Structure 1
Amino acid sequence: MTEQLKDIGKRLSMLRESMGVTPEKISEILEVSAEDYLLYEAGEKDFSFSFLYNVAGVLGVDVVDIISGETPKLSLCSVVRAGGGYDINRRKAYDYKHLAFTFRNKKAEPFMVTVEPSGDAVPERHSHCGQEFNYMVSGCMEFYIGDMTYTLGEGDSVYFDSAVPHAMKAHGDKPAKFLAIVMK
């Protein structure tokens, strides 16, 4: 696994221990096996965004605090220039750029997400508390939610209950790029 995954795992372990919570208790709250949770802490299992979002909520920190290890300092505004953002490269097919990584006490987590084509397999669905808004910037993607599938193209958007298992997949042979705003 990557150094970023190992660093995130160390921060998870430190935050959990500082709260006095056992791995078994946090895995129960997150509805994952204790074995899988310990693999996350060891940096040996890749994180879904849903897992990071949910564990951040349980630990009472920002997602970016877990990913970067830095606590944001700004509360008036946060400017991110074109092409910028905090890179979160967890999986080969997904590239996330956090667009408000220096802002403290966010009510929403904005990301620019690029999904690379990945063949015919339907991606694994994940869920997290809150709601989400996705706006297609370029390309085309399949959006899976519950038992439904939508094909979204440039300019299309979807707003949904993110507690319902969902996934995205680039449609065709070109990457799909969308703005994702996750609300707590």
Structure 2
Amino acid sequence: MKKNLGEKIKQFREFRQISREDLALNANLDITQLEEIEEKAAFPSLGHLIKISRALGVRIGTFLDDQDQVGPVIVKAGEEKKSHSFSTKDESTREHLNFFSLAQDKAGRHMEPFIVEIEPSKESDYKLSTHEGEEFIYVLEGSIEINYGKELYRINKGDTIYLDSVVAHNVHAAGKQPAKILAVVYTPV
């Protein structure tokens, strides 16, 4: 039986003998958020998942992996695995991000490459997140905007951006059209 993300987090937390309260504190989460994730299969935002993985001392892929292939992993065009969808419960304030993992089967990786489909938002109240690491984004289709600190960058098809994830940021579709990006997230363990 395949475990959901919350079950995996709970399993690692208990194995490391860390209380739910301590993990919530170390990951800068509210205890009720962590309880929702572990017990009710609520899916955290990418930023929260990164903070949980850092607080547990594991790479983010530990929770997203299905298999543990040691050698190279090849993903043929059109065979990307839909891994997860990261969004907040409040659909009015943030667009929906659909992540397709390009290395879900690779064990021991330090980077997380994704194809991300970004649906446009109804509102412009974008929630900024911050986590350790770096991100590289290449726009495949459409245009995106990135709130990065106090700046706003518009990145169009064919453009790239490399940013430090410790700076508060948000990636969203520019305007009312969807976008598709290649995103590579690096988080140190």
Taking structure 2 as the reference length, the TM-score comes to: 0.85
Q: CA deviation at 1:73?
A: 2.3
- Supply the distance in 2 between the matched residues of 1:104 and 1:44 (Cα, whole angstroms): 24
1:20-169 aligned within 5 A: 20-43=17-40, 45-68=42-65, 70=66, 72-87=67-82, 88-91=84-87, 93-169=96-172
Q: How many aligned positions are there?
A: 178
3-state SS in 1 of match to 2:131: coil
1:104-146 CA-to-partner distances (Å, cap 9, x unmatched) read 1112111111101112323211121111111111101111111
Query: Structure 1 residues 164, 179: closer, same or farther in 2, change over 3 A?
Result: same
In terms of mean alpha carbon deviation, does 152-161 or 78-87 score higher? Answer: 78-87
- Supply the distance in 1 between the matched residues of 2:29 and 2:121 (Cα, whole angstroms): 26
- Supply the distance in 1 between the matched residues of 2:40 and 2:151 (Cα, whole angstroms): 33
**Percent of aligned positions that are identical:** 26
Contact 1:8 1:43 in 2 (8 A): no
- Supply the distance in 2 between the matched residues of 1:60 and 1:83 (Cα, whole angstroms): 33
In terms of mean alpha carbon deviation, does 108-117 or 38-47 score higher? Answer: 38-47
In terms of mean alpha carbon deviation, does 87-96 or 171-180 score higher? Answer: 87-96
3-state SS in 2 of match to 1:163: coil
The CA RMSD over aligned residues, in Å, is 2.0
Q: For residue 75 of structure 1, what is the amino acid of its counterpart?
A: V
Q: For residue 30 of structure 2, what is the amino acid of its counterpart?
A: S
After TM superposition, where is structure 1 displaced by more than 4 Å over at least 4 residues in a row? none
Taking structure 1 as the reference length, the TM-score comes to: 0.87
